[in-house]
A and B are shown apart, each in its own frame.
Chain A
Amino acid sequence: MTRATPADLVGARLPRIEDPRLVTGRGTFVDDLQLPGMLHLDVLRSPHAHARIRDIDAREARALPGVLAVYTGRDLAQFLKAVPSAGGMEGFNAPQHHVLAVDRVRFVGEGVAAVLARDRYIARDARELISVTYDALPAVTDPEIALTLEAPVLHDDIGSNRAFELRIGNDTEAAIAAADRVVRGRFVNQRVIPNTMETRGAVALFEPWEDRLTVWLSTQAPHLMRREFARFLDYPEHRLRVIAPDVGGAFGAKNNPYAEELLAAALAVRHQIPVKWIEERSEHMLVTSHARAQTVELSAGVRADGTLLALHYRLVADMGAYYHAITHIGPMMTATLMTGAYRIPHAATDIVSVFTNTTPTDPYRGFGRAEAAYFIERTMDLIAHELGLEVLELRRRNLIRPDEFPCATPTGHVHESGNFQLCLDRALARLDYEGARREQAKLRAAGRYLGIGFATHAWRAGFPSVPGGKGYITSGWEKTTVSVDPAGKVRAVIGTSPHGQGIVTTTAQIVAQQLGVLPRDVRVVHSDTDAVAQGNGTMGSRSLVVGGSATLLAAQQVRAKAIRLAAHLLQLDPQRVTLESACFSDVGDPARCITLAEVAAHAFAGPRDLPEGMEPCLEATALFEPANFATCFGTHVCVAEVDPETGMVAIRRYLAIDDVGRAVNPTIVEGQIHGGLAQGIGQALMEGAGYDVTGQPLAASFLEYATPRASDLPHFEVELTETPSTVNPLGARGIGEAGTIGAPPAVVNAVLDALAPLGVRHLDMPLTPQRVWRAIRDARA
C-alpha cells in the first residue's frame, strides 16, 4: 500500500509536469504542424501609414509556379465579412476593419494582398512580385494632434478621430475647489509591444465530408476564438474545433480574432486545402496588438497634511487605426482602478479615446491596471514632493486600512479584502529602509546618485460575468470536470488555456490533494474545444482564481462521493471515513482501508453494488462564478543608481512583496512575478513603440525594440504574503500581472528620487540613458 502522497500538495514547490517535453524540444507550437498538401499564406503589407490604394497588379505573382492564388482586399470583400472589433459593442463608433484593406490603408503594416503558395519561400517570392500603387495621405500618430480639426481623419464614416468619450467616477470639481492644495501633473504611459517570443500563427484544416473545420491557433482563448471564427465564417460553431497547441507566450496580445488568422481559415474552407500562416517578427511588431499608449493630465485636491480629497484625470487613450476585440476596454479599466490602494472620496476620469494611424492597441499584461498603478503611484510621489512630505508618510496616511474592507471606490470597483500595510511593512523590513536612506545620503555626499522608489499597488483579477452579456468577454465563470477512471487515475478538464503559467501542474496539485493521488496520476485536458466543451480562456490573472476554484469544487465533489462509496464498501458511516495518503480508512482503525483505485473499480458497477441512490461513475462538474474581482496588492521597492555622465540607470535592488491569498505552487508564483517584473522594468527603462512624423514606426525589429535581456535585469528579491481572498473558495488572489503593474512606477520613482538633488522633477518612460542624460543637462542649465 503506497503512502506516497505529500501531506500538503497545495502549497508545495512541485517541479512542473509541463517541463519534460518542452525542455527536450518536443512541444508542438503552431509552426511545428505540417499537414499533407498544406499551403502557406503570406501577406503583403502597406509601407504607408495612411494612403489610398490606387491599383494592385498581381499578375506576375499569380503566374509564378507554385502559387495557387493571390487575393486583394477587393477580392475578399466579395465573400468575407469585416474583421470583428470592439466586441460588437454599441456606442463605440467601431469603424469597419477589412481583412485586407480595400480602398485605404490606415497604418504601416496593414495587409493589402495575400499569397497562397506551396511553400513559404515561393509565397515570399510571389509577394515581392505584387505591385501596389498608393496615393499617400497625411498621417497622424499623436492622439492629441489627431483630436484637432486640422488632423487627417482616418474613418470618413465616423467623421472625426474621436473614438469615444466616457466619464467614470463621481463629482470631483467641488472637492478640488475646496482643497488646501491642488497638485497638477501629466504622465505618459507609453505605447509598448508585448513581443511574445512565439509570434502568432494559424493552421486551418477543412474536411468537407466530415463537415468539420479545425483551426490550430496560437491563442490564449480557444473558446472565444471558436465563437468569433464561427460568426465570421458563418460556420456552425459546434462543427468548428479550435486547438491552442503549445503557445509561446500571449500576455494579452493573443486574445483577438486577427485578420490573417480569419483569412487562413476562410481560404482553407474556400480551397479545401490546409492553410498555414506564420507571422514573422517584423510583422509582429507592426500588426500584433500594441499596448498601453495612455496619457493622463491630473488634478489632485489634497489637504495640507496630505490627505487625498479628490483626483481627476483627463485620460487620452490611443486606440490605433482600428479596434481589436477589447481595445476600448483599456482606458475604462484604467479609470475604474484609478484610486489604486488609496481612500479617495472623489475620483473621476474623463476618457477621450482616439484613432490614429498606428497599430491597434489591445490588452497587455496588466491591462488598464498597470496604467492606473503607474498614474496613481507617480501622483503620490508628485504630491509628496509638492507638499514637502515623505513619500511613505503620504502613502500611509491614505492607504485603505485592513478594517475598511470591503471598500467601495468612486469609480465602481469594490476592494473585497486586503492588508496593504502588511506588504509595505514587510518590504521596508526586508529592505532595511533606514539603512537604505543612510546609504543614499552617504553616496550623495560622494557625488553619487542613488534613489529609492516605491509602488504600493492594488489591482484586481478574475473578472466576474458582465450583466447583459454583450461584447467579446461576457462571462467570467469557469467550469472543471474531474473524473476518475476504473483504474483510479484522474482526468481534469479545464476551460482556461495556459501558455506558460503552469496551470497543468497547479490543477494536478489541487485535484491530487483532494483525491489522495499522485500529481502524475492526474491528466489535465485543456485548450481543445472538442475535448473541453466550454471555457473562457487564460487572461486577466484568472486561471487559478476562477479556474482553480472550479477545479477545487469539482475535486471536492468527487472526493465526497468517493468517501460515501468507500464507507459503503468498508461498511462504515461516511462520517468515520477519512482520506489520508491515498487511502480511505476508518478514523478509529486506520489499518482498515481501501485505495481510490479500489473505490473507483467499484464505482463503475451496477446500481445494486452501489449505495442507495448513488449513480455509477466517479466524476463531477463544477462551475465557479466569482462574485467580485479578487483584490490583488503588494509593495515593490526599487533601489537604483543613476550615472549622471551617461544617464544610465543601474538597479541595485528590486524587492517585490505581493499577496497571493493562497499560493498553490510558490515556485510557479515567483516565476510569474519574475516575468512580469522583467516586462515592467523593460517598459520603465528601455521599451517603446514610437512613430515618426510620417507615421513610420520607429521599432520594427529587435534591433530597435529593446526587450530586456538577462544582463539588463537585476536579481529580484521576491516574497509572498498570504491574506486569503474572500471571493473564491481557494482564497487566492491573482498574481500573473503583479510585475508589470508594480515595476514601472517603482523604477521611475526611484530614478527621480536619485535625481532630485540635480533638480530633475519629471521624466517619462522609457528612461533611456539619452532621456535621463538630457533631463540632467536641462536641469543644470
Chain B
Amino acid sequence: MSTQLGHFLAALSEFMNFMTLVNVLWAVFVGIVIGALPGLTATMGVALLTTLTYTMQPNQAILVLICVYVGAIYGGSRSAILLNIPGTPANAATALDGFPLAQQGRAGFAMGIATTSSAIGTLIGILFLLLLAPPLAEFALKFQSYEFFWLAVFGIVIAGLMCSADDPLKGWIAGVLGLIVAMVGQESVHAYDRFSYGVTDLTGGFNLIPVLVGVFGLAEVLTVMRDPAAVLATTRIDRVVPSFMDLWRYRRTIVRSGLIGTGVGIIPGVGEDIGAWISYAAAKRRSAEAGKFGKGSVEGLTAAETGNNAAIPGAIIPVLTLAVPGSAPAAVLLAAMFIHGIRPGPLIMQEAPQFVYGTVIMLLLATLAMAFLGLLLARPLLYVLRVPRHIMMPIVFVLCVIGPYAISQRLFDVWVMVAFGLIGFVLREMKYPMAPLVLGVILGDILDKNLRRALTLSDGDLTPFFTRPISVLLWVTTLLLILGSIPGVRRMFARVWQRSPA
C-alpha cells in the first residue's frame, strides 16, 4: 500500500510545474474546439496532436493528448446542443435532447449540464481506472501468447457486434479488413515480405496515424462539404452554471451512466459513442419522465454526456494493462505511447507503475480544466462554431496532410492518408463502422504474432488454445457472442425457452 502511495506521490511530483499548467490549459482548450467543430473528431484531434507533440518530453506529450481527448469528447456537446450536429460521434445522443433544449431557449443551461455531467463522468471513470488498473495488470501477467491471440479475436468480434448493433456483419467485415491491412509488410517472425509486391515503402506496412487521419479526417471533410451547411439553433445563451439541485435530482442516472460508460470503455474497440447510447437507453428505460426523452429531457442529456466521458478512463484501462485500445482515440493514445518509448501492457505495474498513477493525475487535471474552461467559455466558443466550413475544412485538410508526414517524413504516408480517406468515405456511406477497422489495424499484428508464437511454444499443438483456463473463458465468450447474433440461432433459443415450463 505504501509503495503504491509512493508511486502516486512520485508521479504527482513530476507534474507539479508550470509547464504542466500551461499545457493542460491550451490542450484542453484545443480539445474542446476540435470536439466542437463538426468534421473533427476526438480521434483526429489526438492523432494530429500526436504529430505536434512528437518532439515533446513523453510525460508532457501524453498529458497533452489526454487533455485533447477529454476536451474533445466534451466539446462535441457544444455543436450537438447548438447545431444539432454532434461534434464527435460520442455526442450523437447529446443532440437528441440538447438541441431541443436549445430551441426552448435553454442552450446555456444545457451546456452547463453537459459540462458538469462530463466532468462527473470522467471522475467516475478515473476512480475505476485507479481501482481496476493495478489488479487487472496483475491478472494480465498470466496472459501468454494463447490468451493474447484470443483477446485479439474477442476484441474484433465484440467491437464489430457492438459498434453496429443492427448489422454486426458489417462491423466484422470492417474488423477483418482492418486485420488484413495490418498484414501488409514485413512480418515479424520470419521477416518475410507480405503483400508488398516490390514496393519498398510497403515493407514497413501501413502506419496507424496515416490510416486514422485518412479515415477520420479526409473522409469527414468530404462528408461535411457534401452535406448542407449547419445552422445555429440560437445565439442567446442563458445562465450556464447548473444548480446543485439540478444534478442531485438525477444522481442515480449519473452514477448508472458513469458505470455503464466506464464498462463500455473497457471493452476493446467499443468506445465513447456506444457508452453514450447505452447510458441514454438505460436512463430512458428507467426514467419516470421517459416521455420527455428526445424533446429536451435534462435526464437524457445528463446520461449521454456522463456516459461518453466515463468511457475515456475506461478505454484507457486496457491500453495501460493489455496494450489493447478500448476505443478509437485510445488507439491513437496507445500508438503515441509507443512512439514516446512507453511500453504499456501487463508488465507496466512492475516496470513503470508511476505511469499508471501519472495517467490518473493527467485525467484529473484534464477534467478540472475541462469543467473550468467549459463553464467559462460558453459564449466565446459560440464564435468558433460560426466560422464557415469552407474556411475551416481546408485548414483541417492541411493538418491532415501535415500529420502523417510529420512522423516519418515520407510522402508515401500522405498518399496512404488519401487512399484510406477515400476508402473510409465509401465504407462509411455504406454504413460500415470505422472503430472495428481501426481496432483491426492495431490488433492485426498482435493476433498474428501471438498465434504463431503460441504455436511455436506448443510445437504446433492446438490443444492449449482450447484448454488453458483464461483461453477457455475468451473463446467460449467469443463463440457465444457470434452465435447470439445470428438471427436463426436466436429464434431457436426463443422457441426452446418458451417451451420449458415457466
Binding between chains A and B: no
Residues of A within 8 A of B (CB): none
Residues of B within 8 A of A (CB): none
